Every structure is written in structure tokens, then in C-alpha cells.
Structure 1
Amino acid sequence: MRYQSISDMDEELLKREYDLDEDNGCTCNFLRHNCRDQCLNKFPWRRLLKSILTLSILMMLFFGMALIILLTPNQPTVEFKSMEVSNFTISFSLPSPYSNWNMSATWKTKFLVRNPNRRLQISYSEIVTAVYYKKERLWSAEVESFCLEKESEKTVVSTVEMRAPTAIEEKAAFEMEVDRFKAGAVEFNVEIGGKVWFKPGSKWMWGKQSVMAKCENVQARVLVEKDGSISLVEDGSRNCRVIFSLYKS
């Protein structure tokens, strides 16, 4: 279609109307300003529906974040309480395929485990304690599972009796004997670790988590009993370094 002038074209455009909603009778001119807003004003339920949906989404996000914050656990704390080693003996045996040095003793270690969470319980399982001399593991033992209520604590005792001499590395045996005679004390590294999960709700959110408490540089004093046996005693409390898999970088 050819137009004689610009005014003819404008007049033709003004005649065009676009029905935005035929069922509800909302008809707007092509060049009319705020056409869509005018139609929406005729049907306020649309804006109300949008507002309700937007508010619902925001509330879901808010409560979801609040739930995560409430159920995010604080890591348990572990305090080393004491270690008693009785009938401590290091002996040398005839050459064998493994080691010429053996050790026998009865070990008793105590830990104080705390749950700092105000809203969550902690369940412990697969608990293992171990004692090292430097990098040499001297022994390890399993501990019975237990549960801590909110903001509670429990003393965990691990006892290992080495009735039969246990082979150890020659270097570790020699250095322990040197420490015992020269320094009057032997320094150990003590560990306790296992699996934990939190209740209520955090088991399905976080699953089982690994936790390991390292109590380093535990100095056990050498005591000579009346019967001539050697004992090592350390009763100084100290906080242990806790490695929690949930916060492990």
C-alpha cells in the first residue's frame, strides 16, 4: 500500500488495534502508551498472583537458609585427660624376620569428648584410639560407640594390655630407651577418631562425617615402682587438635 503523505500513514496506523485479550475485552491501540499496564489494571488478579508467587519463592528461600543454618553442626571438641602405662618393658630378642626389639605394657588413656551444639545430638561410631612414638604406631584399639546429648560431655577410656611382647622398630625402641634414661620422660602422640552424625535432621543433610583428634607431644613421666617395674604417667589436661571432614579444606 502506497501512502500519499506521512499524515496518511499515521492515520492508517492509528486505525490499527490489537486485541490483547479478546475474552476479557482489553483492546489497545498500537501507538497508545502504557497499553499493557492499562490492560493489567483491568485485571488486578494477575498482579496479585504474581505477587503471591514471588512472596512464596522468597519465603521458601528464607526458610531453607534458616534450616541450613540451624542444622549446620559445630565440630566436637576433644580434651586429653591422662595416660597411664604400667609394666613398661622394652627388650631385645634373638634375630627374627621382623624385629629384634619388643615392647610390652598396659596402656590406659582418657579423653573428654564434648558436644558444643545447642540443637543437635552427636552419635559416634567406629571409634579407634592409637598411640604413636613419633611416626611409629605402638598400638591401636577400638572403643564402644556412644551418643552425646546437646551440650554434654563424656569421658572415653581406652585400655590395651600387651601381655605378649610386641615387635617394634629398632630406631623407635632405642630412642624411647634414651628418652627414658636421659630425660626421665617419653613423648607420645595420641589420637582418637571415628565417624559421627548429627541428630535430628543432619544425617540426611550432611551424612556421616569423619572426625580425628590429635593430641601431640604428650610427655609421660617415668616412675619406678616398688617391685621394680617401670610406669609412665601423664595427667596434664590439654586440648587436642580436631580435624573434622565437614570443614576440611
Structure 2
Amino acid sequence: MQDPSRPATGYPAPSYYQTNGGQAPPSATAYPYSAPHPYPQNQYYNPNPSRNYFTRSFVRSFIATLVCLFVIFGAIVFIVWLVLRPTLPDFRLDSFSLTNFSATSQSVNGTWKAGFLVRNNNKKMTITYQVIEARIVYDTLFLREQLLPFKQDTKTETPLNATFSAVNTPVKKEVVDDMNANKAGGSIPFNVEVLASTVFRSGAWRLRARLLKVSCRRVPIGISSNSTSGKLSGGARECQVWT
């Protein structure tokens, strides 16, 4: 006789509904698989978004500040220029002479004297000539002379003199022949130049230093074929001035 305490075999096991009073099993989802994560697992996560916003805001503010400063500085410079209106000085070659001149073989001798009148036309700006160099040029003949610096007040004129000497200065034979040919024609043309480092100033306002260039081209010295001396022909010459 079969023991009633032992479960019967050959019959299906009782279902959960039977053992649980007919209640349905708990379920976290209505589907037989788990729901996907609401955000992709590989999405970038910024732990401190306010820091990036602050950085971008700072860069934009810095660039805007630089632009404003540049505009303000440009406006100030333009206003100062309109008020002061700096103009370049005038250079006039009033005198030009040559003594003890000779051009033989491949050398040149002589003494040149040039006299300028420098005029400052500015009403509000003084001009300081810091470094001044005067030159005489004839083809490959190149003579230079350092002049003393000076300061020129507004609406004033200042004389400027320079002396050049050539003692057996070597030049090409073609240059000697050309000089003697011009001398035989009654005059020898020379280029007279000035280079000057200048500063324009008005009270506390000081403009940047400028390199002033002065050129008097082909200034003739009248000299006869049997003479060693001559002087400027045709009167005073206005020179070209630029920076």
C-alpha cells in the first residue's frame, strides 16, 4: 500500500497559481525581456557644464574688450591728428659752392659747401632733429657729413650748413671723364641729400620718430673749364621732403 505522505509521481507539479491562491506572479515588465536604458550607455557626460560656459563667456568678453580698446585708441589718435595736424618741414637749398676742384685720372678733389634753410610750418608741434646726415652724390662719388642735432620751435626757420671734402677720393675713370665733360659745358650737376631722424612733439604729446628724407636733385654748380671754383646756378632750390 502506497504511503500517503509521499508525493505522487507521474503527475505534473502544481502550478504557481495553485500554490499561491490563484494570484498571478509578480512582473517588473509587461514584456518577456528587460526594457532598454533611457540613455545610451556611451553618451558623453559633462560633470561640470557651468565651467565650460564660463570659459566661453570669458573668451568672448576678452575679445570684445580688445576690440573696444583698439577702436578707442584709434579714435584718440585720429582726434589728436586732426587737432595737431603735423606737417613735414620744408628744406630749401639757398647756397651751394665748390672750391679746389680737380678730377684727374681716377680720383676727385674738392670742397663743397651747402647751405639749407629749414622751415617748420607747424602751428602746434615742435620738431627735434636727433640724427642728421648730409650727402653729396655724383654717380659713384659719395660724400657724407654728420651734422649737429637741433630743436626747431613752431613757425620758425633754421639755417643748416654742411661742408664736404674729397681728398684723392677714388672714382671710376668714366666718372672723371663725365665730370670734366660737364665742366667744359659750364656746370656740374650734383645731388644733395639729407637724412634726419625726427620727433614731432606738442606738449605732452609725442609722435613716434620719423626718418625724414630730403633730396635736391641735379643741382648745378657753375664752373668754367679753366677754373677750380664755382657756385650754385639758377638761384635757391626747393627740395623734396618725404618720410
1:70 to partner: Cα distance = 2.1
8 A Cα contact 1:71 1:202, kept in partner: no
Gaps of 5+ in 1: 1-58, 93-100, 245-249
8 A Cα contact 2:183 2:224, kept in partner: no
Identity score, percent: 22
Distance 1:61 1:243, change over 3 A: closer
**How many pairs are equivalent?**
170
1:202 to partner: Cα distance = 4.3
Name the amino acid aligned to 1:123: T
**Candidates 124, 128, 132, aligned match of 1:123:** 128
Distance 1:60 1:238, change over 3 A: closer
2:191 is aligned to 189
**Residue 222 (structure 1) aligned with residue 223 (structure 2):** yes
**Candidates 71, 82, 102, aligned match of 1:89:** 102
**Candidates 155, 158, 169, aligned match of 1:166:** 169
8 A Cα contact 2:143 2:165, kept in partner: no
Moved over 2 A (4+): 59-68, 135-138, 200-203
| Counterpart mapping for 1:129-168 below 5 A | 129-133=134-138, 135-162=139-166, 164-168=167-171
Give distance in 2, aligned partners of 1:218 and 1:202. 38
Larger radius of gyration: 2
Name the amino acid aligned to 1:237: A
User: What SS does the aligned partner of 2:81 have?
Assistant: helix
Q: Deviations for 1:167-209, whole angstroms, at most 9, x for unmatched residues? A: 112221110111111x110011110121100112443xx3100
Give distance in 2, aligned partners of 1:149 and 1:129. 22
Give distance in 1, aligned partners of 2:111 and 2:232. 14
User: What SS does the aligned partner of 2:223 have?
Assistant: strand
**Candidates 52, 70, 73, aligned match of 2:86:** 73
8 A Cα contact 2:134 2:162, kept in partner: yes
Gaps of 5+ in 2: 1-71
1:177 is aligned to 180
8 A Cα contact 1:138 1:168, kept in partner: no
1:242 is aligned to 241
Name the amino acid aligned to 2:183: R
Name the amino acid aligned to 1:242: V
User: What SS does the aligned partner of 1:69 have?
Assistant: helix
| Counterpart mapping for 1:203-214 below 5 A | 203=206, 206-214=207-215
1:138 to partner: Cα distance = 3.0
2:118 is aligned to 113
Q: Deviations for 1:22-72, whole angstroms, at most 9, x for unmatched residues? A: xxxxxxxxxxxxxxxxxxxxxxxxxxxxxxxxxxxxx99987643232234
8 A Cα contact 1:223 1:233, kept in partner: no
Name the amino acid aligned to 2:168: P
Q: What is the alpha-carbon root mean square deviation over aligned residues?
A: 2.3
8 A Cα contact 1:187 1:219, kept in partner: yes
Give distance in 2, aligned partners of 1:159 and 1:136. 19
1:161 to partner: Cα distance = 2.9
Name the amino acid aligned to 2:80: L
User: What SS does the aligned partner of 1:230 have?
Assistant: coil
Give distance in 2, aligned partners of 1:118 and 1:69. 13
User: What SS does the aligned partner of 2:142 have?
Assistant: strand
**Normalising to structure 2: TM-score of the pair?**
0.64
